[in-house]
Structure 1
Amino acid sequence: MTAASFDPTALLPDELLERFRERAVVHDRENTFPDDDLADLIAVGYTAILVPRELGGAGLGLAEASVLQQRLAGSAPATALAINMHLVWTGVAKVLSDRGDDALRFVQEGAVSGEIFAFGISEAGNDLVLFGSDTDAAPAADGSYAFTGTKIFTSLAPVWSQLGLHGLDTTSPDAPKLVFGFVPRSDAVTTRDDWDTLGMRATQSRTTVLDGAVAPADRIVRRLDPGPNPDPLVFGIFSVFELLLASVYTGIARRALDLAVDAARSRTSKRTGAALSQDPDIRWRVAEMALAYDAIVPQLASLTRDVDDRVDHGPRWFSLLSGVKHRAVATAKRVVDDAILVSGGSSYFSRNELSRLYRDVLAGLFHPSDPESAHATVATAWLGPIES
């Protein structure tokens, strides 16, 4: 399959998605990782969709990956969010290679050979996110680094083979430096069994404790000054992370909208004897949901294509990216809320799919960029920085 002949149903046919949807109920209830989903995704080459064809991947772009993630999230949101973190690293590798930088070629080759990459950036209380770290990165004479610290929200925790992470080097002559690298699973990595959450339970995004976990010299991809940085790696991480996250929550919104439409058509008013789809208030609510959803899809398509086509938005990039992520999450939450109102009291029962979507969609509030960060970024883009 190539981007030119892209058909999302080829990789994710309806029958596969229906299996994912059936499993999602079990994984949510039992708080387990979707191993079967991952095996099915690997079997169809999903973990290498962003890897160039010449390296054995599908050769798709971020725009096509976004459509696929929307489709997957409409079936199994937690599965989509989990695999999202692997796709982030393969997407960053594509962003870099498209711009002549092969620093993450090993990620592309690894994805084809079966490696699963996890995302180890989040730390408790670290609102600097990409621009700072409480994890210690200790250099060795051979160019490797030993990372010691705690990472939170490590999706794919039971299955990852390589963890992409960052830490702070405070001892080198040119310190401080933020060090980005990849560590394999080892005795120096402990995964806590602490993922018992309101929603997105199947992601199993457990806490990861690093005690001198070593990233070899050839897996150290950047040493950067702390703080905002124009390095392509930073842009790659931020752009792919925000856009694929937005895609997952947009997929949830679409599924909630579809469920609301089905409910409106199948429910009947005792007062009028007509289907609720004929009730003016219900029609207005469904229309509001559709208007909100329809605004996100073309913006995602446009921005993902701009990344693929190397369009230069200059300093506007970060406000555009944080904005679409925030907007997608806020829209999805609103659409799910309205879908529950359209569907009635049955959606309050845990066995109802909308009940799970209601819990799953809340996770979007916690991913960077959070509402405060997004608004600060957009305000700076339009008003300039706060004067000191």
Structure 2
Amino acid sequence: MNPFDPTVHLPDELLERIRERAPIHDRDNTFPEQDLEELRAAGYLSILVPAARGGAGLSLAQAAILQQRLASAAPATALAINMHLVWTGVAKVFSDRGVPGLEFVQDGAVAGEVFAFGISEAGNDLVLFGSDTEAAPTADGGYAFTGTKIFTSLAPVWTKLGLHGLDTTSPDAPKLVFAFVERTDAITTSDDWDTLGMRATQSRTTRLNGAVADAAHVVRRIDAGPGPDPIVFGIFSVFEILLASVYTGIARRAIDLAVHAASSRRSKKTGAAYSQDPDIRWRIADMGLAYDALPPQIAALARDVDERVDNGARWFVLLSGVKHRAITMAKHVVDQAMLVGGGGSYFSSNELSRLYRDVLAGAFHPSDPESAHATAASAWLGPLES
């Protein structure tokens, strides 16, 4: 088998064009539509779709490598595309395990559709296990959704929104309903995305006022709360792995920039390059030691998903753990890179300054630090006594 070549799916020339546009979208607080169009033309939206359905047929492990590479050029573009790839990744989890229902996501991705992720809700710390959005059954087997979703990346461009809501009226209620809705007048997107970092994701608030998913696009209907359904495992595994990949890619870029700064700056005191300064060398070594642990961890967990390894209840601590370690590592690395870069890195036009702001977003994605630690504590100590 030939080794995986990420430049086939994300060529250097495309990556550089995306890198050049990143500071413009950050400065202007705009969505990178040209990035999306070029990625769509390159087949990037369907990298996780099986070749038999017209996609690239890549594994989750290979997609994770590509997302690290994309994030090294434009973190916000990578994070936005992540949300589309989550749904195509969940569709892959389903098809790999013989579970029907998400073939329309695979076919849509090949046709150029953009799938957004409408799960997050303000104040809902149940995340996948509950929803404040009302899911009202319709006469033809579909559902009408009413509620508010936050952090909806790809807001200006998505064509289908994957979301969940709670059915409280059916005879067997309550049931969590996972479905996809079209962009219609029943959906309002607020122009409220003005943030510290990850600005180009345009992860705006989405208000649903009876947005209808027809029966063919109702994917799962399950009990609320933790459970073994493949929709929960699929979303959680793909989301955490690809999220860890984006922040690991940010860390890699920060190291590269720090190495360049250390090699190109010279000390007035000694005349030597800062790369010869013992303190700078220790700092960059510390960054490298922290970074090197993450790509193998991401690759190992992604392979387990691809190969259908049964990690049982440990899946949740493994997945939340790799995401938590990735964002913690990335923030540490960017902090160190800022110091290596010197005072110039504090200017907003400096790439390290943008990475510094972007990396802060990592702590707000599920699983947040509190949730990750609670999951780990339960894994090692058992659940809290009631």
Smaller-chain TM-score range? over 0.9
Q: How does 1:1-388 map to 2 (within 5 A)?
A: 6-388=4-386
Which AA in structure 2 matches 1:192?
A: S
User: TM-score when scaled to structure 2?
Assistant: 0.99
CA distance in 1, matches of 2:144, 2:10: 39
2:139 counterpart SS class: coil
State the Cα deviation string for residues 23-74 of structure 1 (Å, max 9, x = none).
0011000000000000000011000000000100000010000000000000
CA distance in 2, matches of 1:11, 1:49: 8
Say which is worse superposed, 267-276 or 5-14, in terms of deviation: 5-14
Question: Deviation at 1:5?
Answer: 5.2
Question: Deviation at 1:12?
Answer: 1.4
Question: Deviation at 1:325?
Answer: 0.2
Q: Sort the Cα spacing of 1:59 and 1:4 in 2 relative to 1 into closer, same or farther, 3 A.
A: farther
CA distance in 1, matches of 2:89, 2:190: 27
2:226 counterpart SS class: coil
CA distance in 2, matches of 1:298, 1:246: 12
CA distance in 2, matches of 1:271, 1:380: 54
Question: Deviation at 1:10?
Answer: 1.4
1:102 counterpart SS class: coil
2:207 counterpart SS class: strand
2:195 counterpart SS class: coil
CA distance in 2, matches of 1:173, 1:4: 54
State the Cα deviation string for residues 165-213 of structure 1 (Å, max 9, x = none).
0000000000000000000000100000000000100000000000000
CA distance in 2, matches of 1:312, 1:339: 39
CA distance in 2, matches of 1:374, 1:277: 37
Task: Specify every segment of 5 or more residues in structure 2 that has no aligned partner in the other structure, as ranges.
Answer: none
1:74 counterpart SS class: helix
2:73 counterpart SS class: coil
Question: Deviation at 1:271?
Answer: 1.2
1:385 counterpart SS class: coil
CA distance in 1, matches of 2:270, 2:132: 62
Q: Identity across aligned pairs (percent)?
A: 78
State the Cα deviation string for residues 311-355 of structure 1 (Å, max 9, x = none).
111110000000000000010000000000001000000110000
State the Cα deviation string for residues 78-107 of structure 1 (Å, max 9, x = none).
000000000000000001110001211110
Which AA in structure 1 matches 2:354?
A: R
CA distance in 2, matches of 1:207, 1:63: 31
Q: Sort the Cα spacing of 1:276 and 1:5 in 2 relative to 1 into closer, same or farther, 3 A.
A: closer
CA distance in 1, matches of 2:325, 2:274: 29
Q: CA RMSD in A?
A: 0.8
Question: Deviation at 1:6?
Answer: 2.5
CA distance in 1, matches of 2:115, 2:230: 20
1:124 counterpart SS class: coil
State the Cα deviation string for residues 351-371 of structure 1 (Å, max 9, x = none).
100000000001111000000
Which AA in structure 2 matches 1:349?
A: F
Which AA in structure 2 matches 1:37?
A: D
